């Protein structure tokens, strides 16, 4: 009887541990991660995400598409293309849930201030924070905007040009599939007409002449 009771207790502990590990695994996913298409729970076909599994990234000489939903630091929808129109700009896409991605914003801002020759720097968070855990989808933008304000304060960022562009990686019109991200942060240097001059993927050891 005692052995059986011990076995039952051990089984209960294992089940509890497995449940906690499963939950921890879910929570460890990047905020905003989509596990399946939100409409019917299935993965899209290659044609639905541009005709190929791995989208060709937007590169030098191409116009940077910015016609996806974007929100400012007040949670209001904005036209990102108009925000950079007529300005040579550096548009940096990052993930607010990844420290390395956030820390790169500081490096970019400091570098641009001393070496950017007046370039217009724009930060775009291609993610939403804790939508499923804090109020559901309708709170995704407000919660993410709050996080952006925290990031700006903690990292002592000077810019007000910080935006949120919710991304659905399993949608053909999602930000990552429109731009063909290979990693984040990804920084696009564009001319005054929005044509890409340079692309930087991941954290950089910024040096004079990069932008």
pLDDT at position 139: 87
Strands 120-125 and 89-94: parallel
Stretch among 19-23, 54-58, 96-100 having the lowest mean pLDDT: 19-23
Express each pLDDT in 96-117 by its tens digit.
989 999 999 999 999 999 998 8
The pLDDT of residue 29 is 42
Number of other CB atoms surrounding residue 198 within 10 Å: 13
Long-range contacts at 26-34 (CB < 8 A, ≥ 24 apart): 30/95, 30/97, 30/98, 30/127, 31/95, 31/96, 31/97, 31/127, 31/128, 31/129, 31/130, 31/131, 32/97, 32/127, 32/128, 32/129, 32/131, 32/140, 32/166, 32/167, 33/169, 34/168, 34/169, 34/170
The more confidently predicted of residues 118 and 170 is 118
List the beta bridge partners of residue 196.
190
What integer pLDDT is reported at residue 48 of this predicted model? Answer: 62
Say whether pLDDT at 25 is over 70.
no
For the ranges 105-114, 138-147, 193-202, the lowest mean pLDDT is seen at 138-147
Domains of the chain and any CATH numbers: 47-201 (3.40.30.10)
pLDDT band at 17 (very low <50, low <70, confident <90, very high): very low
**19 pLDDT more than 80:** no
Residue 187 confidence (pLDDT): 96
Reported as a single tens digit per residue, the pLDDT across 153-173 is 999 999 999 999 998 877 777
- pLDDT (0 to 100) of residue 176: 87
The CA radius of gyration of the chain, in Å to the nearest whole number, is 21
For the segment 143-161, the average pLDDT, to the nearest whole number, is: 94
- Residues with Cβ < 8 Å from 119, sequence gap 6 or more? 88, 89, 90, 112, 189, 211
Higher pLDDT, 176 or 192: 192
- Of residues 49 and 138, more confidence is placed in 138
Least confident of 27-36, 46-55, 80-89, 107-116: 27-36
């Amino acid at each position: 009887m005692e052995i059986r009771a011990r076995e039952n207790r051990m089984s209960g502990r294992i089940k509890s541990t497995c449940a906690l590990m499963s939950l921890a695994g879910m929570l460890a996913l990047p905020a905003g991660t989509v596990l399946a298409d939100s409409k019917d729970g299935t993965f899209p076909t290659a044609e639905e995400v541009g005709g190929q599994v791995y989208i060709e990234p937007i590169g030098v000489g191409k116009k940077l598409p910015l016609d996806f939903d974007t929100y400012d630091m007040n949670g209001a929808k904005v036209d990102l293309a108009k925000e950079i129109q007529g300005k040579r700009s550096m548009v940096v896409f990052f993930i607010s849930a990844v420290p390395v991605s956030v820390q790169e914003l500081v490096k970019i801002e400091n570098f641009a201030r001393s070496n950017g020759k007046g370039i217009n720097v724009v930060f775009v968070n291609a993610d939403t924070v804790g939508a499923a855990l804090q109020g559901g989808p309708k709170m995704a933008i407000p919660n993410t905007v709050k996080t952006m304000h925290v990031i700006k304060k903690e990292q002592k960022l000077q810019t007000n040009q910080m935006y949120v562009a919710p991304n659905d990686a399993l949608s053909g019109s999602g930000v990552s599939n429109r731009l063909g991200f290979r990693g984040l942060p990804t920084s696009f240097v564009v001319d005054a007409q929005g044509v890409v001059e340079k692309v930087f993927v991941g954290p950089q050891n910024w040096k004079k002449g990069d932008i």
